[in-house]
Structure 1
Amino acid sequence: MDGIDAHPTHWRQLGVELKRRTTMPLEHPSFVFFFLVAILIVGPIGVWVELYGYITRIPPNAAPLRSSFTSFVPAFLAATCMQLIWAEDQRKSLRAFSILILAVCTVGLLFCNSRDFADGRAIFLGFILVALSMWMWWVANANQKEFMDSNNQFMTNPIGGENVDGPLQGNLDGFNTD
């Protein structure tokens, strides 16, 4: 194989990066709280409303719940995967992985909405797809500073921001030490 590194380390690197992006945000309460409120509760509110309707309706009707999966998963997952593809400059395998997940979820939605697929299986699959799309959001945003709690924000902000190695603004002209 001329010029191609055929070592399995690329697979290992992808696994290590996915694991790092899955666990590292747990150290940041701001990330976790944002995820819980915006991504888990508010984002799929249509799914939660239809799940409540499915549980409380007699007899239960799975069609609205199936439709909520079809409206939430593609919109949310496509936006998340595109974000990861556009933001990731270094890891081509991570971009390819997001395309694979998008394709797998698209096929899963076809099964989820097939009349030949039993309601219980469709609902189970739908929630798997919702969870997978939320995990992809987690992975895509794991490096976003906006969601992280900075360890040094109180030390750098009083002296002028993030760049603590640069020259300080101002001068000492007219300052008398006597």
Structure 2
Amino acid sequence: MADSLLPGSLAEDVEDLKAQIRALTAQVKSLTQPVGPDTEETTSDAPAPDEPDDDWQFPPFILLLDSPEHEGELRALVEWVEGVLVPGYLAEASADARWCHRWTDHPVAIARLHALWLSWQELTDPATCGYTGPSVWHRDHYDPCMRELRASSGPFQGCTKGEHQIAHRMPSLVPSAWTLSYMGLGAALSKP
């Protein structure tokens, strides 16, 4: 596996991107600040390019999280996938559009669906994206993600009737993947 695909390298790339964003933010701020005889040129508000900006946070990408943050993020993802995505968007699984009701057993599906969910959170909030956000989400995030996930060569390629042990059903009838994957955890949490 190439170094650029390893989680450590990914974390370094994220840190590099954060530094670049801070530098660009400072540059934009200095270029858009009014300068004239009646105004003072101040740059003390802008963080230095190498100075960490404590207010900025990157999205909690699920593959980079450790327990218990990972479990909390997965639980929230499962609620969104099963409460919004499956009943509202997915049709019956077929050879051309596969789906696995045990999608939490597929790490690639978790990663892609988590990225899709992060974009959903941002692009369905008019305060951050205006009113075109949902259209952008469908075009730039949902459609490509579903093409990759549901393709015959995607992570669910072995998950159709006759090829896999898991019986597939219409997505609206899919049992909770959270319950199936974490029955032991759910039972342990429900005990007094």
The answer to whether TM tops 0.5 is no
| Larger helix percent | 1
Q: TM-score, normalised by structure 1?
A: 0.30
TM-score by length of 2: 0.28
Higher relative contact order (CA 8 A, sep 6+): 1
Larger Rg: 1
